[in-house]
Amino acid sequence: MKPEAIVVGAGPAGCSTALSLARAGVNVVLVERSKLPREKACGDGLSPRALDLLSSLGIPIPNQPAINRLVLRTYRDPGRRAEFSCEAPWGACRRVDLDYRMADAAVRAGATLRSCTTAESLIVENGAVQGVRTRGNTARIDELRAPVTVLAEGSVGALLRQAPVVRPPGQQTAYAIRRYFENVAWDEAPAFEILLPIESGSIPLMGYAWVFPVGNGAANVGVGWLPDRTLPIRLRSMLSHFEEHLLQQDCRFAAAHRVGRALGAPLLIGASAAGSHAPGLLLVGDAAGLKNPFSAEGISKAIESGVLASDAILAWLGGRAPLSDYGRLLTERRLTHDQLVPGLPSLYRLLRHVSRDLVPFVRDRTAISAACFAQGEFDFSLRTRGLHLRGHPPSIERATADVKDRVYRLVYRERPFFGAVVAAIGRDPRGCSPCADALFAARAVLPAFDLRSPLLRRAAVCLELARHSAVLLDDLDVDLNESSIDGSRGGGWIAASIAISLGDQLLARCFAINAKLPKPDRNIVATAVVRIMERLTTSALRSNGSVDHETSRVIAAEAARAGALIGGASEDLAEWLALQAEEVSLQVPPDEFARVYLRRLDWSAPHLGAQA
């Protein structure tokens, strides 16, 4: 009987497609070039969404370690860590087992599996794909024809290169490599561990290393990297360096040993609805670039895209919808991120620069970005903090407005999208106390106050950048179950990742400007920035809810303290001014802060005179 559908590739995407079609009574052939079971390069992590999808397909994952924690560590000092709990457990299953179980389910449902069969080329006639040419154990080429073909062969393959689809502008290729270790002495409940940033020499790279438990005292150890053409780095060397790092410095690996060879693979990142189909052809999973643009997780998207592909094929075979309706289904389920993909190259370039600017400042501290994950899902409404300087002396009002304008110009020049977000922060009337007016107001009570001082304004710009960064990071609310605010899947991770990258970009720009200050002032501003971020991080890690009040209090206090110290005030006076700023920030709305703070300082003139 002539097949009605051909699926090339027996990974999670291909198997979920074949299984769903077979259960619906479609005659489907599943083509796999290797003999199952076979190894695949993968981190082996299964998100709650992936587990739900597997369960709905009737594919239980036995003996899987239930993983309820995510641990983020710094690469150089794994002892420094931030830990977060997951409301729903993640799982782990080696791809050699997962793919075999999924393929077996598809065969039992009625799909025909042709293993050890290589799909050599597509058959294209009259502008539509009509099937594939295959080669088995012999040199003979056979034609396998069907009304629809599904490519699920991963990020590389002859058919993907031939596919008559438009590659989404902005699509990127990352690389990952992993190896298994056995006899790992897990000292506590299993957790997914992410180490970042990875480095080559002293240069931070775009990527991360991982240690994932896979049951029975084994671990999946790997490195993922978005290449930089300016750095001639070999992926296997990166993995070897990380493995030695674990064997020598991680006590859990003291008796561990490597098992098998290291496996690596390229990863397409960036999918679009338009690039997911052509006449007679659908792309699913990695072949379509369906990966999280920041973590590169793809199993849940692969399984879900296979189910959606089967829905589109069934509707097409039944005459209810065109085959291209598959693209609409992907978009509705938020699997493609069409608007984000074109900006990926510039976003990744920005993140590379951020890493290189930021890492020297935070290398010996717990990663600022990591701690942001303590707060659940990030909402682009950004409960952000405004700056409306009613009642200020005109000179301070103008100076603060100038600082705001300069911050917007700086950030907008980097990326218009980021500039628009920062501008939105400034317009929101619910914001927390801004830095510039707190710095200027505290500085104004001291002798020789000059608002025109370029050094003072530069310090104010630094602190305003830090404020915007703190606002973004404080506003994060990452749902590790991959459910975003509107109920779509995966959007929470994307939104949070963008917020983190923007927050870090602002910090990096802050440090770059701060470097141009004279050394005493540079140290004062840098200390204020570090204290703001560390105190907010600590608050976020302890809190299950909003930390808005803590944000306002910390920002106001540190900005006032910095302004006083830059003006030459004593430590005692600077501390007193900071305490007054804290109190005012908790008592009045943000747009009233500067006026009330200045009035309080006027009332305290005798006290100030005694300490100045």
Label residue 126 left, alpha or beta by phi (over 0 means left) and psi (-120 to 50 means alpha): left
Same domain, 556 and 479: yes
Domain of 141 in residue numbering reads as 5-44+94-169+270-335
Average confidence (pLDDT) over 205-215: 88
Report whether 87 contacts 481 (CB < 8 A). yes
How far is the C-alpha of 24 from the C-alpha of 26, rounded, in Å? 6
Phi, psi of 537 (to 5 degrees): -60, -45
More confident residue, 155 or 532: 155
> Residue 79 gets which letter from DSSP?
T
Say how far apart CA 174 and CA 176 lie, in whole Å.
7
Contact predicate 107/23, CB 8 Å: no
Q: Given 219, 237, 268, which residue is the final one in a domain? A: 268
What is the chain's mean pLDDT, rounded? 79
Residue 552 lies in a domain: yes
Binning pLDDT at 50, 70 and 90, where does residue 213 land? Answer: very high
* 27 within domain boundaries: yes
- The domain boundary, picked from 247, 268, 289, lies at 268
Cα–Cα distances in Å, from 520 out to 174, 194, 358, 455, 562? Answer: 42, 37, 21, 11, 11
> 384 with 422, same domain?
yes
Among 467, 462, 558, 439, smallest CA distance to 513 is for 462
Q: What is the pLDDT of residues 452-470, one digit of tens each?
A: 778 888 888 888 888 888 7
Q: For residue 591, what is the DSSP state?
A: G
Distance CA 17, CA 345 (A): 31
For 78-82, 265-269, 589-593, which range has the lowest pLDDT when averaged over its residues?
78-82
Q: Domain check: are 286 and 435 in the same one?
A: no
In a domain, 87, yes or no: no
Distance CA 533, CA 541 (A): 12
* Helices (H), ranges, 383-490: 394-414, 416-427, 435-444, 454-474
Where among 308, 335, 362 does a domain terminate?
335
490 and 396, same domain (yes or no)? yes
Classify residue 449 by burial, with Cβ atoms within 10 Å: 0-12, 13-18, 19+: middle
361 and 328 part of one domain: no
**385 pLDDT above the threshold of 60:** no
Distance of CA 128 to the CA centre of its chain: 37
Tell which wins on pLDDT, 41 or 414: 41
Length of the chain: 612
pLDDT in tens, 216-258: 899 999 999 888 776 777 888 889 989 998 998 888 999 999 9
Q: How confident is the model at residue 202 (pLDDT cuts 50, 70, 90)?
A: low
Domain match, 180 and 312 both: no
How distant is the alpha carbon of residue 115 from its chain centre?
36
In a domain, 427, yes or no: yes
Give the Cα separation of 98 and 60 in Å (integer): 10
Q: What mean pLDDT do residues 278-283 have?
A: 96
In this structure, are 222 and 353 located in the same domain?
no
Residue 513, domain CATH: 1.10.600.10
Statement to judge: residues 299 and 347 lie in one domain: no
Q: Is the pLDDT of residue 498 over 70?
A: no
Q: Are residues 177 and 157 in the same domain?
A: no
540-565 as b/e, with b when 16 or more CB fall inside 10 Å? bbeeeeebbebbbbbbbbbbbbbbbb
Identity at 585, one-letter amino acid code = S
Task: Check if the beta carbon of residue 198 is closer than 8 Å to that of residue 223.
Answer: yes
Q: How confident is the model at residue 105 (pLDDT cuts 50, 70, 90)?
A: very high
pLDDT value for 79: 64
**Cis peptide bond upstream of 589, omega within 30:** no
pLDDT cut 70: percent of the chain above it: 77
Q: How many folded domains does the chain comprise? A: 3
For 81, the token pair is: 């860590």
72, part of any domain: no
Q: Quick one: 456 and 390 in the same domain?
A: yes
Amino acid at 536: L
**Residue 331 belongs to some domain of the structure:** yes
Residue 182: what are its φ and ψ, rounded to 5°?
-120, 165
Q: β-strand 118-125 against 128-135: which pairing, if any?
A: antiparallel
323 and 243 share a domain?
A: no
Inside any domain, residue 571:
yes
Given this model, what pLDDT does residue 372 score?
Answer: 31
Q: What is the pLDDT of residue 530?
A: 80
DSSP string, 547-576: -HHHHHHHHHHHHHHHHHHHTT--HHHHHH
What's 255's domain CATH number? 3.30.9.10
Domain membership flag for residue 129: yes
Distance (Å) of CA 28 to CA 25, 102, 313, 455: 9, 15, 11, 71
Same domain, 165 and 215: no
